[in-house]
Each structure stands twice: as C-alpha cells, then as structure tokens.
Amino acid sequence: MKIVLVGIQGAGKSTQGNLLSQELNVPYLSSGHIFREMAKEKTKLGRWLKETLNSGALVPDETTMDIIFEYLDKPEYSNGYILDGFPRTLAQAEVFTDRKGVDKVVLIDVSDKEALWRISGRVADRQDETLQAIRKRIALFHESTSAVVEYYQDRGMLVRVDGEKDVDDVFAEIKKHLGR
C-alpha cells in the first residue's frame, strides 16, 4: 500500500507513520528526516539544505523530487510505503502520483495553535525548529499544500482525520479509512 501523510509540522505524521509502518509492514519515509540527515553532510548540497531548512523555507520542487524518487527507487519501497512530508506542492503531487502512484492520502488535521503547542513541548536540538522557522513552515503549508489536499480530494484519494484526538484514536480512525 502506498500512503501519503499530509499535515502541518506537529500534526503527528511521524507518530502515525511509524504506527502504520508496523501495522502494514511497509517502510516509513519522512522527507524532513532525509533532508535533515543530508544537511549534516559536509557537502555543497548539505550546507545548502541546512541553510534552507533553518530558514523555514521549502526545498525547491525539482531538488525534492530528485531526492524522494531516488529513495523510493530502492528495493525496500517496491511493495509500498508510508510517505510523510511529500508532496508539498501541486507540481510535486502531479508528477509523483503519475510516476509512483498513491493509494490513499491521509490529512492529519490540527490547528496551528495545537501544532505550535506540541512542537514547543518537544525536547529537540533541531536548528530548524525555531519559532520563526516553524511559523514560516506552517504558513507555507497553508499556502502551498492546500492545493495538494484539493488535488487528492478531487480524485477521491483523500482521507481527513482529526489529529487533535488521542494518538490511539487517530490511529484507529486512519485504519478504519484504510479498511483495517
């Protein structure tokens, strides 16, 4: 099964992605995790990714797609995946859906206030989680990703869940929509 998780930073995509990975026995892949790992590398791309992420900006479509497709071409993703944080723009969604296919897109819906509260409660040493960067990413989510949500909704692939519920309740709701 090929599942995409959509939601603002702090919505619980990582938590639900890991639970779904265990439930469905397919790997979980987070674009944010990939980019943060690459940003640690002492390469031109690594330094550029670090600056981009720390500013709260999105990585451009072409670079993002190249990196994600390279990962998804690996054998461990041939039987499906849970993908978090991609696609984030309409252009990415169109190319990705045509090239890789998607079974379901799960929108984990939380308010901006709830997301900020959750992120502020994390103990993290991530330079990309400054208040300014987080607010910028939330604004970019609403600006760019709403078209992605509409794209998948128009195709009957979107499932919307209330991400402000308890973790187990959110997971149960997602599983119900997936027929599990």
All domains of the chain in start order, with CATH: 2-174 (3.40.50.300)
Q: Which residues contact 12 (CB under 8 A, 6 or more apart)?
A: 108, 110, 118, 163, 167, 170
Digit-by-digit pLDDT tens for the chain (180 residues) are 999 999 988 899 999 999 999 999 999 999 888 888 889 999 999 999 999 888 877 788 899 999 999 889 999 999 999 999 899 899 999 999 999 989 999 999 999 888 888 877 665 555 656 777 778 778 888 888 889 999 999 999 999 999 999 999 999 999 999 998
Q: Within its chain, how far is the Cα of 151 from the centroid? A: 16
Instruction: Say which residue the tokens 């900020």 belong to.
Output: 116
pTM: predicted TM-score of the whole model, two decimal places: 0.84
Residues 6+ apart with CB under 8 A from 79: 26
Phi, psi of 37 (to 5 degrees): -65, -45
